[in-house]
Amino acid sequence: MRRRLLECACVAAVLIAVTVVFKFVPTGTAQSDQTQTLTTAWDAPNLQGIWTSDYQTPLERPAQFEDKEFFTDEERTAIDSERARLLGQYRETGRRSPRGSEQDVGGAYDATIFLTHKHVGRRTSLIVDPPNGRRPPFTPEAQQRRTETREYNLALLQSTDACKSNRPGCPPYGPPSPRRAESPPHYLTRSANRANGPEDRSLSERCMAGGLPDFGSITGFFLQIIQSPGTVSIFYDTGQGQGWQRTIPITDHPHLPPSVRQWQGDSRGHWDNDTLVVDVTNFSPKTDFHGSREHLHLVERWTRLDAETIGYSATMDDPTTWTSPWTVELELNLQSNVANRIYHEPRCHEGNYGLPGLLAGARAEDRAFAEGRGPDPATLCIAGPTGACGGFAFGFAESGTETDPLRR
């Protein structure tokens, strides 16, 4: 008996020792020798590894910094401190929608995922051209598209309780608009206050939000690059276990015919000395990047600056959307290659479970109204970033401004 106890104790001690060893392996240890080598076995620049941006930088330069390209160290410290204070204050206030409501559930999720931040970077904007760090103005054509979509979305809101109580951004309260029976003037990439079918809901609710170009988000993103002599494959882990993959052929072949449109466009890569240059066209008209759709032309440049850093730039051009091209630059930092650093099986519960449930609930509300057992669905608010109705509008969208000094 004593011998068995001693044997068990020895086994336990070994297990504890192994656990301690694994527990204290630094997560920031270097990548494999392959990713530390700056050239591949076939003498191409080596971009392989897991990468992310270590800092948070606004896409556009905040107005209060005007033509200032870089923050001082004192400004960075002050911004980080103010953001931490505001985040703490927001959590302590506990502002929330009625318990159990759709907005309450959405708010709990968003508070966990989005109310975090990285330290602010040195640059005041990711945009480096135009020199003012701001996106070029929209063309009249793009402004018209935006106006038509906004008017359609507002018409779907006019009979809701939100507009009855004169919420900011609402149109005048009135009966359900006949436009509820119309198709939208342009393909919807954000939610409308209607649930007739999946395409009334946002791309993120349909698990279709991943696209190019991708500069990361509030919570950041990881990407893993794997190379072969003829291709560069990139897996984007965009947070919350979601992600997508693209494969860039290294070729001088022309792009696909204009009639062929793809969600992430059609990429063609070539090496310009140590830089991978990727030309991307043929985007789907159902995608949306800051107002640009099928006419977006993207040119990316990936350069291994040193063992720990990739320099990335992207130039966007669309004469139907912006008055001039514009360019973004950021640095990607090498990450550890520990197990599960990247999730290669993206999952999206919004689309897998949330969307079917939302549509089933909408059909139940339709039946209840038809049978005199419930309100007209046109008077109800459905969560969506419409600016006047739903959890995203009243919860997370506001909190983004409240807790980020760079967005004020």
Q: Within a domain: residue 399?
A: no
**Tens-digit pLDDT profile for residues 316-344:** 999 999 999 999 999 999 988 775 566 66
The CATH number assigned to the domain holding 183 equals: 2.40.128.20
**pLDDT over threshold 90, residue 385:** no
Residue owning tokens 């060893």: 21
**Number of DSSP helices (H) and strands (E) in the chain, helices first:** 10, 10
Q: Within a domain: residue 401?
A: no
Q: Within a domain: residue 164?
A: yes
Q: Within a domain: residue 239?
A: yes
CA 265 – CA 30 distance, rounded (Å): 34
Q: Within a domain: residue 403?
A: no
Residue owning tokens 């159902």: 286
Q: Within a domain: residue 76?
A: yes
Are 236 and 244 spatial neighbours (Cβ–Cβ below 8 Å)?
yes
**Tens-digit pLDDT profile for residues 26-51:** 333 344 444 458 999 999 999 999 99
The number of domains in the chain is 1
**Tens-digit pLDDT profile for residues 233-275:** 998 876 655 678 899 999 999 999 999 999 999 999 999 999 9
- Per-residue confidence (pLDDT) for residue 108, from 0 to 100: 58
Spatial neighbors of 177 by CB under 8 A, at least 6 apart, are 155, 156, 158, 159
Q: Within a domain: residue 110?
A: no
What is the token pair recorded at 16?
């504890």
Confidence of residue 357 (pLDDT cuts 50, 70, 90): confident
Spatial neighbors of 195 by CB under 8 A, at least 6 apart, are 201, 358, 359, 361, 362, 382
- Per-residue confidence (pLDDT) for residue 214, from 0 to 100: 86
* Mean per-residue pLDDT, 362-367: 94
- Per-residue confidence (pLDDT) for residue 91, from 0 to 100: 57
Q: Within a domain: residue 191?
A: yes
Q: For residue 277, give its domain range.
A: 34-82+124-387
Are 145 and 81 spatial neighbours (Cβ–Cβ below 8 Å)?
no
